[in-house]
């Protein structure tokens, strides 16, 4: 849990009392490769912190899986609208590798927000970080042609190319696997 508390403290320094309460609230869960943490159409009941492994976030469109993100160790997996709004989400979350996550359920999270107002700062910073990541991806990828998107992704997230199969990278880039091969060949 050390990584989780370092992550939370990087968002906003937490009082020691809250650290102890959070240690009790978060549960460790091992996820097998290809196991789902969340299915589309269900509200997200947990906030997840990836302690080890890699998660694939995707949605289905015309029977095709479209990758929306990859979450590695040291990062939070949280479908913002589904978790905070407790609404049915449109994304799936699946383990790409055997993974270990720390999770807290929505009701516990809400209870802690009321009990410890300082945690609201953490939640706000977490939301800001999620928004910044989505804006960065939009600007880095969807405002450029495929070869520049590939270059941007390679520069910003080089680890993806070692851990994520090409078909998922192609989907994430918004191109076909064949086009990804052509773009790679040009580089």
Residues near 140 by beta carbon (within 8 Å), at least 6 away in sequence: 149, 152, 153, 156
Q: Tell me the C-alpha distance between 108 and 88, whole Å.
A: 19
Does residue 176 sit in the same domain as residue 107?
Answer: no
Indicate if 134 and 161 belong to the same structural domain: no
Structure tokens at 133: 């990541």
The values of phi and psi at residue 87, to 5°, are -115, 160
Q: Share the mean pLDDT of the chain.
A: 92
Q: Is the pLDDT of residue 159 over 80?
A: yes
Q: Is there a single domain that holds both residue 119 and residue 30? A: yes
Q: What is the DSSP-derived secondary structure letter of residue 14?
A: P
Its pTM stands at: 0.92
User: Are 83 and 153 contained in the same domain?
Assistant: no
Same domain for 106 and 15: yes
The answer to whether 71 and 57 are in contact (CB under 8 A) is yes
Q: Are residues 98 and 14 both part of a single domain?
A: yes
Is pLDDT of 146 > 90? Answer: no
Residue 66 and residue 97 in one domain: yes
Q: Is the same domain home to 118 and 183? A: no
CB 48 within 8 A of CB 77: yes
Answer yes or no: is pLDDT of 141 > 80: no
171 and 122 share one domain: no
């Amino acid at each position: 849990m050390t990584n989780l508390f370092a992550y939370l403290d990087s968002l906003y320094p937490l009082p020691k009392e809250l650290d102890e309460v959070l240690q009790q609230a978060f549960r460790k869960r091992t996820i097998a490769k290809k196991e789902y943490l969340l299915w589309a159409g269900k509200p997200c009941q947990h906030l997840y912190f990836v302690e080890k492994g890699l998660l694939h976030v995707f949605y289905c469109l015309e029977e095709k899986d479209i990758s929306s993100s990859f979450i590695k160790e040291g990062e939070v997996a949280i479908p913002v609208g589904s978790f905070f709004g407790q609404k049915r989400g449109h994304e799936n979350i699946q383990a790409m590798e055997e993974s270990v996550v720390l999770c807290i359920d929505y009701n516990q999270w809400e209870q802690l927000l009321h009990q410890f107002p300082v945690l609201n700062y953490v939640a706000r910073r977490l939301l800001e970080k999620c928004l910044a990541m989505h804006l960065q991806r939009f600007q880095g990828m969807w405002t450029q042609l495929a070869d520049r998107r590939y270059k941007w992704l390679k520069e910003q997230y080089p680890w993806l190319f070692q851990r994520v199969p090409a078909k998922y990278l192609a989907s994430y880039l918004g191109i076909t696997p064949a086009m990804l091969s052509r773009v790679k060949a040009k580089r």
